[in-house]
């Protein structure tokens, strides 16, 4: 959801069943070695705008 939606992290955390965005963020860092805010720009598809 971090890379396929523009939902705020708090909404993503809630949809995934976490009690808070900070709990999600801590667990995400344990799993990936980086925070969700570090991860998202690296993996989010680049938006192409018509010229």
29 is a domain residue: yes
Give the pLDDT band of residue 44 (cuts 50, 70, 90): low
Residue 37 CA neighbour count, 13 Å, CB half:
7
pTM tops 0.85, yes or no: no
Contact 32, 39 (CB under 8 A): yes
9, 14, 17, 22: CA torsion to nearest 10: 50
49 is a domain residue: no
14 is a domain residue: yes
2 is a domain residue: no
20 has a pLDDT exceeding 60: yes
């Amino acid at each position: 959801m971090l890379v396929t939606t523009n939902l705020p992290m708090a909404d993503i955390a809630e949809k995934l069943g976490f009690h808070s965005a900070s709990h999600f963020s801590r667990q995400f860092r344990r799993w990936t070695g980086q925070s969700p805010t570090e991860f998202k720009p690296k993996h989010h598809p680049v938006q192409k705008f018509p010229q």
